[in-house]
Structures are given as C-alpha cells and as structure tokens.
Structure 1
C-alpha cells in the first residue's frame, strides 16, 4: 500500500496476512486540509486505487473567551451581575461569543456545571439546570473547537448567590435631648425631635426608614447587621409611626417592621398657678401633726416638719418638682 498526501508519495506499508494495514506520517503534517490517497499493488503486480480521504488538521487553540457576562433574571433587581456582586438568582444566565460550532464548557469553582455550542450567529448562552448553592462562586469558560483544542480559561466571574429571606427589626429609639434621655420603647413620649432609631437586618443591606408612610431616608447595616438612623430634619410634634424595610445586596426586599410609635412633645408645661394647663400651683399644705391640724394658709406656721403638698390641673404623667428656698 503506497500512501500519498496532497499528491506527494510519503511512504508505503505491507498489509498483514489478514489484509489489514495502518500507517502514521513520519513527520507532523501542517494545519490545513489534506487529501490522503492509498494505492494498492497486489503480489501479482496488479495496481488499484482507493478514493480520496480528506482530513482537516487543526492544532491551533481557540482564544480565551473575553466577553462573558452573568445575568440575573429573578427578583426586583435584574440584569448584569457585577464582578464580586451578589445575586438572588440561583440559575443566572451566562452569555458570550465564539466560533460557530465550538463547544463552550462552563466551570464553577473548578467543577464543570454544563456546556453548550456556539450558534451560527457566533453567540452562546447557558443557564444551569441545577441551582447554584448560596455562597461564593467563581465561573470560568473554556472553549473547545471541533478538533479538540481547548482554550485557556476565561477570566473568572466572581459573585455571591444569596436567596435567603431578608429580616429587619426596629428595636428601640434613643432620646438625646432634654433632661430625660436614654432608650425609648414603642408607645412612649419624647422631647427629641430627631430621635435615633436602632435595629438589625441582614449584613450590608440597605434599611429605609418611614414615618407615617413617608420615607425619611436610608442607612446601610454593618457587617454584623446592626443599623441606626437619625432623621436629618426635625420631626413635628405629634404622633409618629415608624417602620423600616431592608433590601439586601442581592436586591431582595424584606417585609416592613411592625410600627414603632413615638409621641413627640416639645411644648413646656405651663407654670403652676398661672392658669390654663399650669394648674393651681400648690393647692394645699396639709398639717397632720400636733393639736392643730388641717390646711396651712400661705404665710402661716406649722409644727409639721413633713407637711403634705398637693395641686391639680396639670397633664397626666407630668413630673412635678417641689422646690424649697431655691
């Protein structure tokens, strides 16, 4: 059997006793299309000729994919997933381009999660059938051409998947104004027109605070999930019903918190004895010691060194401070 490649005789081989033969080129053939012809001469010297065998040799590796994108198709925030971003889509779609017919192999954290073929338009798209687990992911693309040559891995696309529910709380408020300061529970009264609201939510999420349904602004939680918010504008006197809503880094939005209620009161009470809400001042001074007891008139004497003072006409809950000689 005499072998010719592209019209040039390159070697010969003798068939075995069973009529089988094989031949390997002694030197590597260059990339390109090659026509192989086998001419047979039997032991009697009779020649024959086979048909041409055509083979394309391709040893060039495809270039690494350089336009791969990951896309979020779930939830309130959709579109391109940024590098080192977070998504709530556990089956994001990866897209890119290549040579038509090339095989695209998708690897996540070093493991193959699927493959697809570049279409006639030079584009490819892949969506995992199995959901990606919550946590960090690093996806690379390897292109394999029909000859079996593989590209270098693409630059990794790094992102986190977070499908967990977002929970937010509004736990207490802090009064930083006036004579009475400290932590406030829901349903209390404060003279602080910019009380600080404190709560918890998912780490690094954005918490938006509302007052009577109107947004006051937003703040980001820290890595431990703690947040606090102080209104930039003074709130008016009256009843305030605060709620908070959190949006995590994947774009998932929580349900609002229960209403946290505060009454803001910055009006000083009237001076005792001046009428109106000021009441009647010290209404009575009661002597309940010794032979003479009863109400002691203004300017009179008493032998009771712990007389009882009383009054009325103030707001329920007001604190009355009694001052003696300054």
Structure 2
C-alpha cells in the first residue's frame, strides 16, 4: 500500500521556525488550521524539499482553503487570510531549485480578490525570486534558523513588496525529515486570562493587617499586590478601574508582586491584571478584585463617648450591675455596650489592652477579660476599630474598684442559663429552664471540686491555675428544686468544709394559659373616658391595657396594626393575679389588635392570648353647619330669612354634621341642648327654654363617638319678638 505523502508548513515568526504537518484530506482528519499572523512567513515543503506544482485555492468567509495536488478537499485552512490589510502570497521551491510564487493559471482570478465561495487554480510561475536551496537547507536546519528571514528582501526585489507575508508549499513522504523540530507548535497567541487566585492584595498598615478579601475594606493606601502561576518573563499590568497603575515582570518561579507608587484614593477600587508575553501580546483581564480604601476612623464608641454600657458582677454573694465608682469582687466582670455591627471593640484597663470582641449583628457586644483584673482601682475605656483597621478615639472611662476577699472554703459562684429567652446568671433561689446549667466558682488551684446536688454526687472538676472552675452536668437535671453544695479535695485527698448551698429551681413547664387574658383597655383622654370594650373605638393613643395571669409572671403585650406586629411593653402579674400596662409609644390610627404572652421567671412561655381589638380614632370631626331656623308659632311660620324677626321664642334649629356625632347647640356660651346627627348627618333641635326677645347668636359643635369635639359652627342670629303687629315682625 502506497504511503500517503504529507506536507509540512514551516512558519517563520520573530526569527523562529516552527514545522506543522498537514495530513492528507483523504485521511479523514480535519484540515490543519493556521491563523495568518502579521509579519510571519510560510514555507510548504516535502521529503524532497520541493513544493507541489498545482494547488487549488477557495475563499470561505475570511479564510483561504488550500487543496493540494491530487486531493478533492482542503488539507490546510489559512484563517483570517482575507482580514489582512495587505495581500498574502503563496510560494514554493520548484524542481529547478529556484524560489517561485504561486500564480493563477487564469490571469483574471487573483487570489486576494476572490469572491465568497470562488476558487482558482494556482501553480508555481513567474520570475524566479532567487535560489531556493538556502530555504530548503534552512528548513532542514531546524527551528533555530531564520532561513525565511531573507525572503522579505527577495520579495521586494521580485516586485512582490505588496505581499506582506509568504506561504510556500511542498510535499514530503516522511515525518522523519531532519528539518521537523519537536511537536507542532501553535500559532503564537496572547497569554490566557489570569485566574482569580492569581491576584491577591495584602494590607500591612494599621491595626488590621493581612489579605484583603474581595469586597473587603483596607486602610492601606498602597496595598501589596501579588500573584502566582504566571509565565516567567511575562509582564503583569495592574489596572484600577481600567487605569494602569503599574507593571511588573514575572520571576523565574512564575511569581510577581508590586506595591503602587502612588496612594490609592479613598473609596471603592476594582483591580484587574493582564499578562503580556515578550512579543507584547496582552491577554484578557482577570476578574476584578474589589475592595474599599477607608482611612476614616469611626467616632468614639458609646453614647456621648460613654462606651461601657454596663459592668456585671458574676461572682460572690452580691452580683449584678456595678455602678460607676462602685466596687466588685469579680476579677473578670462582664462588660457590655453598643457599637457598629462587624466592628471590633478594644477594651483597655488604663493603657493596657485587656482584649477585643466583635460587635454582633444586633449592634451589641459583651466582653469578659481573659485574665483576672488586679485588686485595686480600674479605669476602663474602649475604642472601636472598623473593618479597614481604623481605630477611634477612646471612650470616656468607666471607673470601679476590684476588692478581693477570698473565702476560706470553695464557693459556688453561680450557674449560667444558656437556654430559652431568659439567659445569663441564675440568681440564688431563682428559676431556670436550662436542665444543664453551667455551674462555676472558685477554689484553690490544683484542687478537685466534688459537686453534689441534693446530697448526690453528680461529677467532679479540677480548679484551674487561676482558681476558677466550671461544670456542666453530664445528664439533664430533673424538674424541681436543686441545692448545689461543693467540697474541694486536694491532691492528697483532704477535703474542705462544704460550701454554702446554691439553690435554684428547674422549671420547664409553661405558665397556666387559662389564667392569661386581656380584660380591658382604658381611655383616659378627651371627653369620653373609661373602659373600651373589645371592638370599640378610642381617641387615646396611649391607653392602659390590663388583664389577668399567674402571680409573679411577666406579661409581654404586643399590638398588630397596619405596619405589622410589635411588642409594646411588659408587665409583672401582681399577687392578686392582675396586671396593667400603659402603652408608651403612641398607637397608630386605625385598627389595633392586642395580644399577650405570659412568661414565667424561668423563661417558659404560653401561646398568645385571645386578641382584644380597639380602633384608634384621632381625627377631629368637621364643624357642623346650621342651615336654617324654623318659626313654628303664629300666623306666619316657616324658615326665617336672614335678619327676619320671629314670634317663636323656641324656634327649631336645623343643620348637618358628621353622621352619629353629638351636636351641641349654644346661645352664646349657654347650652340650649344637644342632639345626635342621623345616619345622613341631619339634625334638628328645638330649645327647651324660650329665648328672650332680642338678638341671639346661635352656634353648634359636633362631638364624635370617641369624644373628639369640632370647632364651633358659624353663628346664626335669631331675634325673637313677640309683638303682634306684622310691622313689628318686619322691623
């Protein structure tokens, strides 16, 4: 079976030769594709170093398809051939050893002017461009020779200067030609897009240092940028928002680093990098690393600079809040305060940093010193450090005295409830819903604390080197009363006297929901006061809500209005089982639905009570209108005209007002009577007492169902005159 001949494309670019093998189209393989590059030169050669004499060229889009002699389909595609600004010629070495250009056998079909889908046959022809032997020898010399470099002046000499690139084709029967150097090299491409891991930024300024995360903050105006995995010798260009801020050459290990020569501005920055090869080809930009430069320190923490909100004593017989200037036997009191979520609170004792804590999402923080505070006076201040590392000025100091009077026997310092809504220290004799509370206390370092509950040992724990111990029961405590007593045993087995008992009650039963109810809402505003039944209306936006429950429990009252549901306050049930709460924050106009939840001292809760609905109406009704005054006495009756006298000392006054409102009619300041406007807003009133002869200015006001009273109406003048003459009536 005959061996199919193969063609090698030798590409000369930047002084380097690269061989590509073109498989015969009949082999079933896809044609070799080469992108036409600016300034590159091409040579096709075979085993004998000569090019085929006949080649067919076809234009397909911007590409040139090359079909070799004896084949029916293209074996080679020159991509972007027709995208070049100057014609690209085809060349070969003929059997006479001379270099020729391929020219069209049909003089009317020039290669560079072919239309879409048009083909033309070409063959070596025209004038010789010189001896082809150097090119054949150069090709065989391998990738180190720039044998095509001399082609360019030959093309000029041969009158082909317009052909900015050359391609020369030949056939070869063997892949073992000494001119084929190494694997097929691809057309030179720019470096690829750097991966996200190939770009990082490092903050080495201020309190917070280290890697700057994506979308993070930094107070370093000149962070160190670095990356790995790049090609040694290539150039990394760094951009900030598309503007170049620096360049650096990749070292021999593929690493690079750069610090900007100028400060980055305050605010957001979007950093990208590109990688460029030695030929100046720049790759695509990396994904951006976005961060914010923030060098503005936050304000001093706390209200008016008073950063410490509370200091809690958790040790000894006296626990709870330590007042400013007070004393404590707790060497590790619990400090509390408020700050900006995500910021760091730094706690100082005089000028010594005790530690740091992050502000929670709710804007609060709690800090317990990691080591005992020394006996004596202490002045605690805090600073707040934002996520960029900017530290505020110190807060105002919170001063107190640590006074240690160590007991001669171990003590149960307390128990911590970590379950439910009510957590924290359990007071002696208190209640908890935590069946495994954390017991803690003090003893002699190195000793062993034996813990008993109601006389039964439930475990042991060692006292640490600071004299502290803590213990969580391995099994849940039963519901009911518990009395914790401890003794300390030294390494020799000697035991101390028992400590004073620490008593508490485990309560996991919710309160009796049958006793919980909202029994009333009281109005204390306006003309109408007193009890408001469920479903009623009030003009009091701060009413008193009352009800019943279990003595000693806490009632949590909520209201649901047009904005949603919210807690409005808490009250304690008294010894008689009653409670009341005045609404502190004004209720909104419209429907308000009150519910209550009962919580016992352990933190157990009932389901919400039945709702109690009240509508708040704060709108003042409009002033009523006196439309007419009607004379119902004597020979002449009917509606009085303006200024007309009347012989009716008790005329009927007619008008309109808000439907359902109580209309009060006045003669000056004297009340003549009141009447309720009907469903259409109409009303009328006849004075029970006769008006004296003379002028009377009649006005009216309207009071709605919740007691809101309008402004007076416009006055209507009535002039009774009981003289019998018609002339007197008209006077």
TM-score w.r.t. length of structure 2: 0.30
The structure with the greater share of residues assigned to helix is 2
**3-state SS of paired residue (1:263):** strand
Question: How far apart, in 2, do the equivalents of 1:23 and 1:89 lie?
Answer: 54
In structure 1, the partner of 2:583 is 128
8 A Cα contact 1:62 1:144, kept in partner: no
Q: How far does residue 104 in structure 1 lie from its aligned partner after superposition?
A: 1.6
Please point out which of 64, 85, 105 is paired with 2:556.
105
* Greater mean deviation of Cα atoms: 92-101 or 139-148: 92-101
Describe the SS at the equivalent of 1:109.
Answer: strand
1:294 maps to none
> Would you say the 8 A contact 2:510–2:600 is kept in 1?
no
- Cα distance in 2, alignment partners of residues 35 and 53 from structure 1: 6
Residue 57 (structure 1) aligned with residue 57 (structure 2): no
Counterpart check, 1:151 vs 2:582: no
Which position in structure 2 is the counterpart of 1:33?
A: 481
Greater mean alpha carbon deviation, residues 206-215 or residues 179-188: 179-188
CA distance in 2 between partners of 1:104 and 1:228 (Å): 49
The CA deviation at 1:259 is: 1.9
**Residues 316 and 154 (structure 1 numbering): CA distance in 2 closer, same or farther, change over 3 Å?**
closer
Structure 2 residue aligned with 1:115 = 569
Distance 1:7 1:227 in 2: 82
- Paired residues, number: 265
Counterpart contact for 2:536–2:614, Cα < 8 Å: yes
C-alpha change, 1:223 and 1:90, in structure 2 (3 Å) is farther
The Cα offsets for residues 70-118 of structure 1, whole Å up to 9 and x where unpaired, read as 3334334544445544332211233456556532211223723322241
SS of the residue 2:604 aligns to: coil
> For 1:114-165, what per-residue CA distance to the aligned partner results, in whole angstroms no more than 9, with x for missing partners?
2224177776543333311122323232211122322354454433322222
Does the aligned pair in 2 maintain the 1:61–1:149 contact within 8 Å? yes
- Counterparts in 2 of 1:267 and 1:234: CA distance versus 1, 3 Å: same
* 8 Å CA contact 1:116, 1:124 repeated in 2: no
1: CA distance between counterparts of 2:730 and 2:574? 80
1:1-326 alignment, distance < 5 Å:
6=454, 23-25=474-476, 29-30=478-479, 32-34=480-482, 56-58=505-507, 59-63=509-513, 64-66=515-517, 68-96=519-547, 98=549, 102-109=553-560, 111-118=565-572, 124-154=579-609, 156-175=611-630, 177=632, 181-184=637-640, 186-269=642-725, 317=730
Largest Rg, 1 or 2:
2
Larger CA deviation: 201-210 vs 51-60: 51-60
Larger RCO, structure (CA 8 Å, separation 6 or more): 1
- Which stretches in structure 2 are left out of the alignment for 5+ residues? 1-450, 460-470, 487-492
Alignment partners' CA distance in 1, 2:642 and 2:589: 36
Post-superposition shift, 1:265?
A: 4.1
Contact 2:647 2:729 in 1 (8 A): no
Does the Cα contact within 8 Å between 1:238 and 1:265 map onto a contact in 2?
yes
Cα distance, 1:68 vs. partner? 4.4
Any stretches of 5+ residues in structure 1 without a counterpart? Answer: 13-19, 39-45, 271-313, 319-326
| Secondary structure, counterpart of 2:595 in structure 1 | strand
**Further displaced range: 88-97 or 137-146:** 88-97
